[in-house]
């Protein structure tokens, strides 16, 4: 295995990366869609977030995931056990956002409407793609890694990157009898 640098918002680069993987390996066993941005400012009301931030967020967090997945899907179909793992967020859970007992039901997280909506849309993409691939060996799942300390949230969070990766790794290594079309965190179902 060797690293391959990829800008997920560059369509030509995405196609070149898929072609490189095909040339080098002939197939792809696991695709983890982990690229995401958060450009909104904490503390702003949802209606105050500029439309340009919405567009930038969706370009990376949703449209790039769709483009990358579509480019690599032929290679995943060649795998005897292809896996697609979409890194979502608890902020993508509409049910969680509507629950007054949830940490997402707060001024801080309500100031991230574009990020949250992009992850909700990613969850929808996950379900639709899992349905399309339901009669194939390819499994498609969304995961919430947990509130992980990364640059995306200014280093805040309860989990290290290693701990945050556990759910995604588990879903990437699913056996043939594993689920598809799910949204999980550490083995527990997350409300859509």
CATH number at residue 56: 3.40.50.720
CB atoms within 10 A of CB 59: 15
Going by pLDDT thresholds of 50, 70 and 90, the confidence category of residue 80 is: very high
Average pLDDT over residues 162-176: 96
Average pLDDT score, the chain: 95
Residue 153 lies in a domain: yes
Residue 97 lies in a domain: yes
Query: What local confidence, expressed as pLDDT, does residue 1 receive?
Result: 66
Residue 1 lies in a domain: no
Residue 15 lies in a domain: no
Which residues are tagged catalytic?
115, 119
- Residues of the domain holding 183: 30-189
Number of domains the chain is built from = 1
Average pLDDT over residues 20-48: 95
Asked if the model's pLDDT at residue 152 lies above 80, the reply is: no
Residue bearing the bigger pLDDT, 174 or 160: 174
Closest CA to 46 of 36, 61, 57, 35: 57
Closest CA to 81 of 173, 184, 181: 173
Q: What is the pLDDT of residues 93-132, one digit of tens each?
A: 999 999 999 988 999 999 999 999 999 999 999 999 999 9
Residue 12 lies in a domain: no
Going by pLDDT thresholds of 50, 70 and 90, the confidence category of residue 160 is: confident
Max distance between CA atoms of the chain, in angstroms, equals 51
Asked if the model's pLDDT at residue 65 lies above 70, the reply is: yes
Closest CA to 64 of 7, 126, 115: 7
Residue 72 lies in a domain: yes
Q: What is the DSSP letter of 42?
A: T
Query: What local confidence, expressed as pLDDT, does residue 148 receive?
Result: 87
Going by pLDDT thresholds of 50, 70 and 90, the confidence category of residue 85 is: very high
Residue 116 lies in a domain: yes
Residue 57 lies in a domain: yes
Match 């194939």 to its residue by tokens: 136
CA distance from start to end of the chain: 34
Average pLDDT over residues 184-188: 96
Query: What local confidence, expressed as pLDDT, does residue 161 receive?
Result: 87
| Six token digits for residue 54 | 């919405």
């Amino acid at each position: 295995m060797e690293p391959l640098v990829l800008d997920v918002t560059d369509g030509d680069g995405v196609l070149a990366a898929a072609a490189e993987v095909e040339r080098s390996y002939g197939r792809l066993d696991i695709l983890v869609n982990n690229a995401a941005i958060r450009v909104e400012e904490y503390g702003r009301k949802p209606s105050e977030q500029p439309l340009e931030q919405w567009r930038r967020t969706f370009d990376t967090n949703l449209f790039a995931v769709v483009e990358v997945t579509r480019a690599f899907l032929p290679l995943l179909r060649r795998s005897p056990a292809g896996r697609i793992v979409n890194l979502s967020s608890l902020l993508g859970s509409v049910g969680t956002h509507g629950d007054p007992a949830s940490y997402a039901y707060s001024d801080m997280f309500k100031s991230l409407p574009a990020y949250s909506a992009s992850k909700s849309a990613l969850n929808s993409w996950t379900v639709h793609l899992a349905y399309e691939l339901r009669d194939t060996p390819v499994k498609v799942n969304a995961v919430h890694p947990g509130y992980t300390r990364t640059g995306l949230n200014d280093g805040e969070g309860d989990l290290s990157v290693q701990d945050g990766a556990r759910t995604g790794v588990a879903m990437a290594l699913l056996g043939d009898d594993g689920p598809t079309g799910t949204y999980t965190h550490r083995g527990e179902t997350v409300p859509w």
